[in-house]
Structure 1
Amino acid sequence: MTFIAKPKVAHPSLPKNSLGLTRRDYEGALSTLCAGCGHDSITAAIVEASWALALEPQNVVKLSGIGCSSKTTAYFVSGGHGFNSVHGRMPSIAMGANAANRSLTYIGVSGDGDTLSIGLGQFCHAIRRNLNMLYIIENNGVYGLTKGQFSASADVGTRAKKGETNF
């Protein structure tokens, strides 16, 4: 497998936040997601918000489950801490991390299949406990890694690539 490092070009006129960091300081690795995937737009929004809020990268914890969305955490705040959990169990990991250190900023990124199918019970308990974290569900209506199998959030009547209809 070939690894190409993302170039770090820091132009002196790039705007800086109150910590003296540029948006580039909040970026992560180069995306390997499919062209046109909406996950990269979500990553860009996280980078922008992290910069605007002047989050200290070393105080950010990025958590994810399994699926295409789990790759997202590699693409923002490279100076933060990261953890990929098993399928549907990211909220439990977040609860444990929160119990250990409430002073950190927790960002959880999970897909619709990971959260709303196998992880629904975990997700409900995270809400019930009012967990101190930003929980982003990247909802595309399919399990992307299985090439388009409908997820629990797929709209009724949606047609898949191969022609089947979601009932």
Structure 2
Amino acid sequence: MIRPLSIALGLCAGPTQAANFYFCWLGDNGYSMTGEMTVNETALNKPIVTARDVTQFAIAGFRDGQQIGNWDLATKQAGDTWVLHFDPATNSFLTGDALPSGFSQGWNADGTAEDCGAGRFGFNSGNQAQDFCLDGVWIEESGVDPQTTFLVSPVPVDPQCRVYVPTS
């Protein structure tokens, strides 16, 4: 009796909701990044949201306000680095080498930031720095301290990490 009731309630429940987050990162020498991710709402109760909990994700890299590359889950290729750790209690990404792997964020760039691929873009937060990979090359001059925090916002942000204020 309980099982049919559970199944019926499950069928009546609406689709799982999701939470959207927008973020911005300021690197060195005019480099910056904006991004957006959608997280399954049930994952927001976990201590750490990981890549498995993210249903949509996209980043765009900039130099002096001009876009230099982008990467997203929709175009993710086999072998692309995809490591993400987000603390939903503080709305913050883990940074630096907070994990035994040596890097806490790998968005088409591993701890060496040299594996994003020809003609492609990636970002890494590791034990030495947070930095970009562009066209399969580590962009060392983009790097900042590995513990640098990101701006995380409920509304979109621009490459200078300014929050878009809705107008009426």
TM-score over 0.5 (shorter chain): no
Higher helix share: 1
Higher strand share: 2
TM-score range, shorter chain: under 0.3
Superposition TM-score, scaled by structure 2 size: 0.26
Considering Cα pairs closer than 8 Å and 6+ residues apart, tell me whether 1 or 2 has the greater RCO.
Answer: 2
Superposition TM-score, scaled by structure 1 size: 0.26
